[in-house]
Amino acid sequence: MSAKDNSYAAVNARKNEIMKASMGMDYDSFITSPVAFDYERMMRETGYSHEDIVRIQRETKVGNTPLFELKNLTDAVRKTAGPGKGARIFVKDEAANASGSFKARRASISAFEAAKKGYKGMIAATSGNYGAAVASQAAQRGLKCIIVQEVFDSRGVGQPEIVEKSRACEAYGAEVLRLSVGPELFYVLLRTLEDTGFFNASLYTPFGIRGVETLGSELAAQVRELTGKAPDAVCITHAGGGNLTGTARGLKLAGCDSTRVVACSVDLSGLHMASDRDFNRKSFTTGHTGFGVPFATWPDRVDVPRNAARPLRYMDEYQLVTQGEVFYVTEMLTKMEGLERGPAGNTSLTAAVTLARQMDRDQVVVVQETEYTGAGKHHNSQLSFARQNGIEVKRGNPEESIPGKSIIIPEHLDQVRGKVQDMDKLRLSYLKNAAKAHPVDKWTEQDYAFLAADVKRDLAWLKRVVNEL
């Protein structure tokens, strides 16, 4: 018998069979064309009801996290807002989950599914909080865990936030495979899945997204209990899209059809995520445009055949904020509300400050997550690392900052303004990517229906803009 070919090309050629074996889900049964698939059937065939998911999460210390009104921060925003403006700001404290972030919700259903199907362990490729979440959930289900991470640049220097997350993964009992930035992450993931026979706890499976739905439904119930109505807007830190997709689906389950779903990312335009030089010149390892824009404009660039995270399908608005604005708001949350939380969750809090200033005082805006902080995740560690890498850190107008060269921290709250993205421009980018995957003249009515839903527009709009492309 000949030895298995483990070359880069050969392993990638086997990716579909590796993925099928590592999840027990046959994606081929959902796919109808190179651009379309039966999304809702794929989500249903996880086999879990919403009540099942609530029960499963309760078993492993996930969910039922508190919702706090940020009264002091709201008062500060009202002082910079016009007459009658300044919505009430609430925050869902997801740091209360096992492992310290909302990612525990994503990992919980994958861990349950892996144990139920008899897998001996779980594997995930992630440099974020998700690794710690998978490790924590695996430990509680008696499963082994391997986390594959991009940690270093070619100098062997690790980004402090990622180094801290490596520590957290190991604290929960995981083996961590540390890589330098580059194209080998997916290759190593495939090799490890094939060699171990473990479950693929990908961020982008239906199991992960269904797990986040409880965040949206809990949030809706808590806001109604405290204010007597559904939230007017919910701000969600956007990277790969699972946070937004799952939360928005949960809000819809709870009947919040008129709630505005607002995505927010840190503006790191000009920095390339796969660049060795740029790797350590950013102070945010997630929740930034390096993930947020590419995943919005083509979700299926992931480690599964079809991505269950479809952000444009649920997004009403997309705001960008600067690194300095997030660090300023992070400090405000600590000093004014007594909550020391990590900058990633505070990205959406920064957007909420901007929105609250524009909304009426009787309206409600909710920040749907926080994350734990400390060690390399702390904003002071990030700023020290930025200075070590030659980035200028100063006070001033954040609009003048240049990602990778300067971080400008606002001098006063009125400078926290954010920047609204052109949603139709993002939708057109998505459709251009779809046309590359499958020529427009081959699109069927089924393709058009899927794509219209995926960009949250009607068929008439879609057909008009496709004719203009």
Residue pLDDT, tens place only, 311-367? 999 999 999 999 999 999 999 999 999 999 998 889 999 999 999 999 999 999 999
Beta-carbon contacts of 427 under 8 Å, excluding residues fewer than 6 positions away, are: 312, 455, 456, 457, 465
Residue ranges of the domains in the chain? 8-55+101-206, 61-99+210-420, 423-468
| pLDDT per residue as tens digits for the range 4-30 | 899 989 988 888 888 889 988 888 899
| The CATH classification of domain 8-55+101-206, taken from the options 3.40.50.10310, 3.40.50.1100, 3.90.1150.10, 3.30.56.10 | 3.40.50.1100
Per-residue pLDDT tens digits for 289-308? 999 999 999 999 888 889 99
Give me the pLDDT at residue 302, please: 86
pLDDT digits (tens, 9 = 90+) for 393-423: 999 999 999 999 999 999 999 999 999 999 9
pLDDT at 273 over 90: no
pLDDT score, position 68? 98
What pLDDT shows up at residue 181? Answer: 85
Gap between the Cα atoms of 365 and 4, Å rounded: 55
Question: Mind listing the pLDDT tens digit for each residue in 221-269?
Answer: 999 999 999 999 999 999 999 999 999 999 999 999 999 999 999 999 9
Average pLDDT, the chain: 95
Tens digit of each residue's pLDDT (9 = 90 or more) over 453-466: 999 999 999 999 99
Q: Alpha-carbon distance 27 to 122, whole Å?
A: 20
Q: How confident is the model at residue 1 (pLDDT cuts 50, 70, 90)?
A: very low
Q: Under the phi-then-psi rule, with left for phi > 0, alpha for psi from -120 to 50, and beta for the rest, what region is 241?
A: left
Mean pLDDT of 19-47: 93
Judge whether 8-55+101-206 and 61-99+210-420 match in fold: yes
User: Is the distance from CB of 227 to CB of 298 less than 8 angstroms?
Assistant: no
Which pLDDT belongs to residue 325?
98
Fold observed for domain 61-99+210-420: Rossmann fold (3.40.50)
pLDDT in tens, 85-97: 999 999 999 999 9
Average pLDDT over residues 48-53: 97
pLDDT at 31: 95
